[in-house]
Structure 1
Amino acid sequence: MTVHGHWDIEVHQAYIYAGSTQDVAELRVVDAFDPANLTDAPGVGYNLTDVHDGSAIAVFGTAALLGRLDGTSIEELILFDISESVVPSPPPGPWYYEVGGNASDIAVEPGGRYVFLASSHPDKELQVIDPHRLSGGLPAELTYYDSPNGAASGIFYDMLKDRVFLATNDAFEIIQPGP
């Protein structure tokens, strides 16, 4: 199997979802049922408008989220419905969210209620998004955090401790979400 540049991968069921540098499939899906014979899933992936690379991926329930590099005429976070097919085949969706910078990394609360997004936005390095509001056409941003330590590049949510771990240009921050 020929592999092109990938920024991020996530395994969901027996499929690998990848944020890709391929301009014909920024979201790529690979069938991993047989690890000795990896093949593209039927349909290969999803091609987005413009040429900005897929930089982050998260898959949960029947949804996939793809983050992209910052662009002037695009939204950088895309929500896909994968309930009918492992490779998104809209409609419904996709749904778009304007990050205002690179969507560098994505973490999702296990129930799928909250998406934690690490970004390069100068005032919103951590953005908390409700995917159900996004797919319903409502304002999706619930809150944000302005880190004094520069752009965020990595994020992890620990469900047991209810903490968000945020990696920025200059620091590693631990944040307690909540009211």
Structure 2
Amino acid sequence: MVQESDEIQQAAIADASSAAPPSAFTATDASIATVSATSPANHATTTLTSAKLAPSNIASRETPHKPVGPALITLPPNGDLESVLAAANGNVLLDFYADWCGPCRKQAVILHELEETAAENDTLIVKVNVDEHKQIAREMQISSLPTLVMVKDGEIVKRQTGLARKVDLVHWMQ
């Protein structure tokens, strides 16, 4: 199963590197090694893949399934934010955080609670650790944590510093 996940992940990375032209963001890293999700309780890292559901052979009255992948990912230390943004199929909510930041941990709980809502609204939540991505944090002018940035169609449409309420983030995703 791990080998199968690695193969799916490699396919996703290949798709990301051949994606749309670069956005306004620039990162110094050259590629995405892994995309992972963090657990808000212990910040353990689990590798996720962006596998697609196979079409069902069973006739159904339901609408066909859309491709699925994680709704919340953490940009790995050698990850390329530009590639992630280019490969996203919808909106992207960037969460700039640090492990040592108390409000960031509270924001992480809220974001994890919103994973299903994000998936329903074609929104990818990308957590960016500012200690691991200092260049991206400088380019995005991140001076306080947590900072949330909503990107729609390659443009920044919302930005908030400090803890964001769940209801406000739901509105951002719509």
TM-score of the two chains, using structure 1 as the length reference: 0.29
More RCO (CA 8 Å, sep 6+): 2
Structure number with the higher strand fraction is 1
Q: Which has the larger share of helix? A: 2
